Structure 1
Amino acid sequence: MSRDADLTRRRFLGLAGITSLAAGLTCATGAAGYFLLSAVRRSHGAADPSPTPRPLSLKQIERPVITSRTDWGAREPNHEARNESGFYSLLNEEGWREYEGDLRATYTTVVVHHSVILETADDATMREIQDLHMDDRGWADIAYHFGVGTTGAVFEGRALDVRGTHVEGANTGSVGVVFFGNFEETVPTAEQLGAGEDLINWLALRLELTHLAGHMDFNDFTDCPGRNLSYYLEALAQSAGLELGTGGYVEPET
């Protein structure tokens, strides 16, 4: 990222006066994901491996349309979950952790996943993921902060001011974004890539993120987010002005 672009980004963030990002997840306007969409259309399904990132602009910091938990039918968190029981403390480090203060001081990295699960409707996929995470894996809520459907719909997952459970050893301070589908076997849709790009651009600017990584970059025991989505990670990172990889991840102080 150039010095001028970085200054522009920081000036905007300073003017925005972000004090509670989680409270801002209730209303805003959307922005079209032209960068990856055009790459997909040019190549009929394969992105240009060396795309030119579109410049950061005021349009790209508009909050995309996000379906609320209420609207997709989310369950309430279960604070008696067997693997995320109670609330975080020095004696219960695996408990439900709510971040305090400015979230820009907490987050550094967005981590991209694929769901493997895919229902006929995007909202049904989101509910199925939550059921799996709460009932089978014993977590208090869905692991991810956001979901990106095949139609381009974006869904609010776990509250952004709460630690996720989406990447072993690096949950604290990382944003979890899941794309619906099994991308070892299929490819993401153009609508999905465009919506994911807009979401990640917005998160990068609002949280002053520095890096983007795939789940497997942190945990080598998984193929997530699948080879057909991993192919696009460099383009997603470039579009948001982020570096690709785990190098920026620093766990916040206890």
Structure 2
Amino acid sequence: MTRRGAPVAWALLALLALPGLGAEEDDETCCGPIVPRREWNALASDCTEELKLPVRYVVVSHTAGSHCDTAASCRQQVQNVQYYHKQKLDYCDVAYNFLIGEDGLVYEGRGWNYTGAHTSRWNPYTIGISFMGNYMERAPPPRAIRAAKSLIGCGVARGALLPKYKVKGHRDLQRTLSPGDQLYEIIQKWPHYKS
């Protein structure tokens, strides 16, 4: 197998939801592969504040840092984001519930059950999804968009999101450029988007 083919093979295995590869083993209602914390070598979480599910909102942001487009680079990038949030900002964990890589996979952050630290005053009512990268000048690839949509569908199926949920861009709720001009333009076309 070529070096280029290895990340593709890993992603395909994740899509098949083999035990330990990209799917939460105990989550039978999950609609798509989620790379669990143990797979990206997350630091232990110190978070204790649980979300009261189901929540009404999904907040979409971007990390505004480097993008990643392979399983290896995305694992490294989510580790970088978590390190920054825990060690530099003194959060209990990575701020987001989930992160989306340009490899087309979803990375578990705080997950479905714990309150995020991404959008002041809105955190107790939202699932925070952040795309890893800066989307001011460029859009995420279609596979990343599909991963986010699948994750949202999974949230509804699991009962973590209300069926009549609303999608908001991070900039709709705070003074920020997030989720970036290009990604913001995309989510405004989603059927559940509400400014």
> Do they superpose with TM above 0.5?
yes
Which consecutive residues of structure 2, in runs of 5 or more, have no partner in the other structure?
1-22
Partner AA of 1:162 in structure 2: Y
Partner AA of 1:228 in structure 2: Q
Do residues 135 (structure 1) and 87 (structure 2) align? yes
Match of 2:41 in 1: 73
Larger radius of gyration: 1
How far does the alpha carbon of each residue in 1:102-160 deviate from its partner, in whole angstroms, 9 at most, with x for none? x22xx110000101122651111110110111111110100101111001011111132
- 8 Å Cα contact 1:28-1:64 kept in structure 2: no
In structure 2, relative to structure 1, the CA distance for the partners of 1:119 and 1:218 (3 Å cut) is closer
Match of 1:217 in 2: 172
Match of 1:156 in 2: 108
* Normalised TM-score (structure 1): 0.60
The equivalent position to 2:186 in structure 1, one of 225, 232, 239, is 232
* Normalised TM-score (structure 2): 0.77
Which consecutive residues of structure 1, in runs of 5 or more, have no partner in the other structure?
1-23, 30-60, 80-95, 246-254
- 8 Å Cα contact 2:97-2:112 kept in structure 1: yes
Percent identity over the alignment?
25
How far apart are residue 168 of structure 1 and its match? 1.2
- 8 Å Cα contact 2:40-2:79 kept in structure 1: yes
Q: Over aligned residues, Cα RMSD in angstroms?
A: 2.2
Do residues 244 (structure 1) and 173 (structure 2) align? no
Do residues 208 (structure 1) and 177 (structure 2) align? no
Match of 1:117 in 2: 65
Give the structure with the higher percent strand: 2
How far apart are residue 162 of structure 1 and its match? 1.2
Partner AA of 1:227 in structure 2: D
In structure 2, relative to structure 1, the CA distance for the partners of 1:148 and 1:65 (3 Å cut) is same
Partner AA of 1:215 in structure 2: H
Do residues 147 (structure 1) and 99 (structure 2) align? yes
Matches within 5 A, 1:99-114: 99=51, 103-104=53-54, 107-114=55-62
Q: Which runs of 4+ in 1 moved over 3 A?
A: 24-29
**Structure-1 separation of matches of 2:194 and 2:98:** 19
**Structure-2 separation of matches of 1:27 and 1:193:** 25
How many pairs were matched up?
A: 166
